[in-house]
Amino acid sequence: MAREWLFASAAIRWGGLALGMSALLAAGEAMAADFRCADLRPSQSQTPPYQRIAGQARCEGFFDQHVSQPFIELVSLTASAPPKQEQGVLELRASRRAAVQLVVQPLRPAPFYRVDALVEAAQAMRWDDAQMLGATGLRRRDIGFLALAPGPDGMPTYVPVTFADAGEAPEVASGVLRASVPVARLAWRSLRGDGSDDGSGGWHDLPGPARFAWERVPIELQLPRGGRGVQINVQATDAAGKILPLLRFNLAGPADAIP
Residue 51 placed within a domain: yes
Residue 196 placed within a domain: no
Question: What proportions of the chain, in percent to the nearest 5, are helix, strand and coil?
Answer: 15, 35, 50
Phi first, then psi: what are they for 23, rounded to 5°? -75, -35
Residue 193 placed within a domain: no
Furthest-apart CA pair in the chain: how many Å? 51
Domain residues for the domain of 142 are: 3-180
Residue 221 placed within a domain: no
Burial of 203 (0-12, 13-18, 19+ CB in 10 A): exposed
Neighbours of 74 (CB within 10 A): 21
Residue 45 placed within a domain: yes
pLDDT score at 168: 63
pLDDT score at 1: 37
pLDDT score at 82: 84
Residue 47 placed within a domain: yes
pLDDT score at 33: 59
Alpha carbon distances (Å) from 158 to 128, 153, 173, 184? 22, 14, 11, 26
CA atoms within 13 A on the CB side of 181: 21
Residue 42 placed within a domain: yes
CA–CA gap between residue 111 and residue 132 (Å, rounded)? 11
pLDDT score at 6: 33
The DSSP H or E segment spanning 61 is strand 58-64
pLDDT score at 174: 95
Residue 99 placed within a domain: yes
pLDDT tens, position by position, for the chain (259 residues)? 333 333 333 333 444 454 445 544 444 344 565 678 899 999 999 999 999 999 899 999 999 987 668 999 999 999 988 887 778 899 999 998 899 999 999 999 999 999 999 999 999 999 999 999 999 999 999 999 999 988 777 899 999 999 865 556 568 999 999 999 999 999 999 998 888 888 888 999 999 899 999 999 999 999 887 777 899 999 999 989 999 999 999 999 888 888 7
Quote the number of domains for the chain.
1
